């Protein structure tokens, strides 16, 4: 993801026009509770969207329950974020089903620009027992090592900027609150960051 972001910043993709963050991993139906998918899954999508594109101006969210035992809990969410310059980000999260297709969208990030595109899949290397979601996914485990290594070796040791900040945490919370409002009111919401 850092390599792809560097390509965006140096102009290799041209003007970025859309972003996709997709997650499909079935979790046990009994874990479902209201807001679980938003706070435990979509927050990661919001962080990634902010990392690649910055702050959106509007969101629209929709959600359903096809799997969770608690029928008041969404196990599938879609958030569409709009940017003032026309970019669109699509954030999809599902705890209801695994993608077992030939090229799965288990955890998948894609950016499309006017001159290029990039993709970051998480399910390219598998090992071990996959009875718990993502425990057989090497990229999932590697991500912890990469983030810790970057923070220790680049941020603390060399005073480089962290990959995300408390401002990003605030922005992600504001975006998700707007998405919650959209879910409830079933309409497009302008995001107020102040």
Using the Cα atoms of residue 100, residue 81, residue 40 and residue 45 in order, give the sign of their dihedral.
positive
pLDDT mean over 58-85:
98
pLDDT band at 122 (very low <50, low <70, confident <90, very high): confident
DSSP secondary structure letters along the chain: -HHHHHHHHTTTT-SEEEEEEEEE----GGG--TTHHIIIIIHHHHHHHHHHH---SEEEEEEE-SS-SSTTS-SEEEEEEE-TTS-EEEEEEESS----SSS--SEEEEEEESS-EEEEES-SSB-S--SSTTTTBHHHHHHHHHHHHIIIIIIIHH-PPPSS-HHHHHHHHHHHHHHHHHHHHTS-EE----
- From CA 99, how far away is CA 191, in angstroms rounded? 32
- From CA 118, how far away is CA 135, in angstroms rounded? 25
Residues whose CB falls within 8 Å of the CB of residue 125, separated by 6 or more in sequence, listed in order: 137, 138, 139
Phi, psi of 152, rounded to the nearest 5 degrees:
-70, -50
Least confident of 67-71, 142-146, 151-155, 178-182: 142-146
Q: Model's pTM, two decimal places? A: 0.91
Percent of the chain with pLDDT over 70: 96
Average pLDDT value over all residues in the chain:
93
pLDDT for the residue 48: 95
pLDDT band at 100 (very low <50, low <70, confident <90, very high): confident
Domain ranges of the chain: 2-122+165-190
- From CA 10, how far away is CA 20, in angstroms rounded? 20
pLDDT for the residue 46: 98
pLDDT at 134 over 80: no
Domain range 2-122+165-190, CATH class:
alpha beta
């Amino acid at each position: 993801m850092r390599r792809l972001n560097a390509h965006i910043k140096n102009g290799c993709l041209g003007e970025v026009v859309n972003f996709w963050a997709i997650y499909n991993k079935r979790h046990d139906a009994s874990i479902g509770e209201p807001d679980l998918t938003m706070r435990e899954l979509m927050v990661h999508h919001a962080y990634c969207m902010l990392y690649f594109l910055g702050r959106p101006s509007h969101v629209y969210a929709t959600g359903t329950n096809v799997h969770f035992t608690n029928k008041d809990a969404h196990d599938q969410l879609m958030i569409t974020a709009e940017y003032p310059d026309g970019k669109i980000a699509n954030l999809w999260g599902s705890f209801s089903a695994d993608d077992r297709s030939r090229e799965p969208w288990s955890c998948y990030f894609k950016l499309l620009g006017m001159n290029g595109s990039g993709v970051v899949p998480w399910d390219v290397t598998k090992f071990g027992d996959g009875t718990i979601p993502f425990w057989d996914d090497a990229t999932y485990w590697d991500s912890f090592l990469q983030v810790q290594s970057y923070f220790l070796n680049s941020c603390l040791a060399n005073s480089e900027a962290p990959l995300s900040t408390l401002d990003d945490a605030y922005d992600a919370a504001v975006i998700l609150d707007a998405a919650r409002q959209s879910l409830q009111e079933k309409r497009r919401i302008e995001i107020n960051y102040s």
